[in-house]
C-alpha cells in the first residue's frame, strides 16, 4: 500500500465524484472526520494548524499529484480564521462554506485573505436564504441539495444565480430523472449516487456485445482454467491483447518486460493477475457507462481487497471480485440478479454482494460506508479497523486512477 503520514490515521476520509453534464469527472469532494468519525469540529485553530492541517496536506498533496482533479474540502470556522494555509496549488481546491456559517466581519476578512491567496469557494447546502446572499459575491460554485431543496420549486431563484455567472452544483442526485431535470434547469455539476444504479428495468435483454463480455468474465472465474485457454481467449480479442501488453509495461504492474507472444505475456503475469486485468479491461471496454462509474467500482474493489490483505486473509482476490461485481448491475444497466446469475460466483461471494454477509460481506460493508459517507457505520468500527479502512480507501483512490489511465 502507498505510504501516508501516520497522522492521517486519525482523519477518516470519504470521497465522492463530482460530475459534469457529460458525466465526466470534474473533481472530488473529500470529507474528513476526526477519531470519533462523527464530528468534523476542530476546537482550536492553532492545534488544527500544528497537528492536523499540515499532516493532512501532505496526504492531499500526494493525492493531488496523482489525481489532477479539483478537490472540494469543508473548512471549519476556526480553521478559516486561523493562520492556516494549504501547501498545494489553489487551482486544485474549492473550499466549501456551509450556509449556516456565522457571517461576522472577522469571517469576511478571512475570506478576503484566502481569496487573495488564490483560493476559490463553494457555498454548500444553499437553500435560497436571503441572509446568506452576502456570500454569493465571494463564491464560484453554489451547491444545492436537491432532496432537501427541490429545484423545481425554485426555478426563478436558480435562473437568478445563473445570471450572476455562478456555477450550480446539484447534490444528492439519486436517480436519472433528477439528473435530467437539473440539467434542464441549468445545473452545471452533479453529485450523488445516480450513476451507481441501473437505469433500465429487470429483465432487460442483454445485447450480444455485452453478452460476449459477460461470457469472458464467466470463463475467467473457472479456477481450473489453463494458461493456454486464457491465452486463446485473449488472442481472439485484439483490444484485450493490446491493453494487456500495455499493462505489462505500466508502472502499476511494477515490471517492464518485452514479450514475443500473448502466451508469454500470460505466463509472465501469472494466472491470478491476468484474470484480474482481463476482467477490468473487459468491463471498461464493453460498456458505454461513464468512466466515473468504472472508477468508483475499481476503487471499491481495490479497497475490499486491501482490507482483506490487512487481515492477512486468503480471500483477498475474492474480495476484489466482490467489490467489482457489486456494481455490475449499473455497468450493464440490468437488475443485479439478472447480471449475477450469468456469472460463476460461489455462494459466499454472491451472499456478500446481495446481502453483505460473511467475511467478504464485511469488507464490502466497510468500503461502502466510506464511499457513501456513512459515519455511523464507521464509528462502530474499532480504532484499528478505522485506520485500516482509511488507508485502504486512500490507496484504492490512487490505484484506480492509475488503472484507468493504463487501460483506456
Q: Which residues pair with 167 in a beta bridge?
A: 141
CB 195, CB 290: distance < 8 Å: yes
In the predicted model, is pLDDT for residue 53 greater than 60? no
Confidence category of residue 51, pLDDT binned at 50, 70, 90? very low
Give 116-135 pLDDT, tens digit per residue. 989 899 999 999 988 888 89
Give 130-187 pLDDT, tens digit per residue. 888 889 999 999 999 999 999 999 999 999 999 999 999 999 998 888 999 999 999 9
How far apart CA 39 and CA 219 sit, in angstroms, is: 46
How far apart CA 9 and CA 381 sit, in angstroms, is: 13
The mean pLDDT of the chain is 77
**Contact residues for 120 (Cβ-Cβ < 8 A; gap 6+):** 90, 93, 94, 95, 139, 140, 141
Confidence category of residue 320, pLDDT binned at 50, 70, 90? confident
Dihedral over alpha carbons 206, 211, 215, 217 (to 10 degrees): -80
**Contact residues for 341 (Cβ-Cβ < 8 A; gap 6+):** none
CB 30, CB 73: distance < 8 Å: yes
Distances (CA, A) of 35 to 59, 161, 394: 17, 38, 16
Lowest pLDDT segment from 218-222, 321-325, 365-369: 218-222
Lowest pLDDT segment from 54-58, 72-76, 257-261, 330-334: 54-58
pLDDT at residue 44, as a whole number: 43
Confidence category of residue 397, pLDDT binned at 50, 70, 90? confident
Amino acid at each position: 500500500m502507498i505510504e501516508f503520514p501516520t497522522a492521517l490515521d486519525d482523519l477518516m476520509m470519504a470521497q465522492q465524484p463530482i460530475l459534469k453534464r457529460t458525466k465526466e469527472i470534474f473533481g472530488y469532494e473529500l470529507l474528513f472526520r476526526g477519531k470519533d468519525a462523527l464530528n468534523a469540529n476542530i476546537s482550536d485553530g492553532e492545534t488544527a494548524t500544528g497537528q492536523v492541517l499540515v499532516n493532512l496536506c501532505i496526504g492531499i498533496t500526494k493525492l493531488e499529484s496523482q489525481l489532477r482533479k479539483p478537490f472540494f474540502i469543508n473548512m471549519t470556522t476556526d480553521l478559516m480564521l486561523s493562520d492556516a494555509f494549504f501547501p498545494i496549488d489553489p487551482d486544485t481546491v474549492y473550499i466549501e462554506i456551509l450556509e449556516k456559517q456565522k457571517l461576522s466581519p472577522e469571517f469576511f476578512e478571512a475570506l478576503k485573505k484566502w481569496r487573495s491567496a488564490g483560493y476559490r469557494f463553494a457555498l454548500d447546502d444553499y437553500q435560497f436564504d436571503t441572509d446568506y446572499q452576502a456570500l454569493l459575491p465571494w463564491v464560484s460554485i453554489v451547491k444545492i441539495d436537491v432532496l432537501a431543496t427541490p429545484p423545481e420549486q425554485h426555478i426563478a431563484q436558480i435562473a437568478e444565480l445563473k445570471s450572476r455567472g455562478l456555477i450550480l452544483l446539484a447534490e444528492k442526485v439519486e436517480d436519472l430523472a433528477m439528473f435530467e431535470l437539473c440539467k434542464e434547469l441549468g445545473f452545471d455539476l452533479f453529485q450523488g449516487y445516480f450513476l451507481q444504479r441501473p437505469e433500465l428495468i429487470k429483465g432487460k435483454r442483454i445485447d450480444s456485445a455485452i453478452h460476449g463480455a459477460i461470457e469472458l468474465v464467466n470463463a475467467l472465474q473457472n479456477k481450473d482454467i489453463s494458461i493456454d485457454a486464457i491465452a486463446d481467449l485473449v488472442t481472439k480479442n485484439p483490444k484485450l491483447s493490446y491493453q494487456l501488453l500495455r499493462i505489462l509495461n505500466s508502472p502499476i504492474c511494477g515490471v517492464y518486460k518485452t514479450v514475443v507472444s500473448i502466451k508469454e505475456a500470460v505466463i509472465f503475469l501469472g494466472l491470478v493477475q491476468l484474470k484480474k486485468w482481463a476482467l477490468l479491461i473487459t468491463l471498461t471496454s464493453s460498456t458505454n457507462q461513464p468512466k466515473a462509474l468504472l472508477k468508483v467500482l475499481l476503487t471499491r474493489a481495490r479497497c475490499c481487497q486491501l482490507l482483506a490483505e490487512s487481515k492477512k486473509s486468503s480471500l483477498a482476490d475474492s474480495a476484489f471480485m466482490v467489490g467489482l461485481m457489486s456494481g455490475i448491475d449499473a455497468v450493464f444497466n440490468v437488475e443485479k440478479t439478472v447480471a449475477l446469475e450469468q456469472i460463476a460466483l460461489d455462494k459466499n461471494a454472491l451472499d456478500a454482494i446481495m446481502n453483505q454477509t460473511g467475511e467478504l460481506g464485511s469488507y464490502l460493508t466497510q468500503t461502502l460506508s466510506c464511499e457513501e459517507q456513512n459515519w455511523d457505520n464507521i464509528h462502530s468500527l474499532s480504532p484499528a479497523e478505522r485506520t485500516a479502512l482509511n488507508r485502504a480507501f486512500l490507496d484504492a483512490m490512487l490505484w484506480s486512477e492509475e488503472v484507468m489511465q493504463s487501460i483506456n
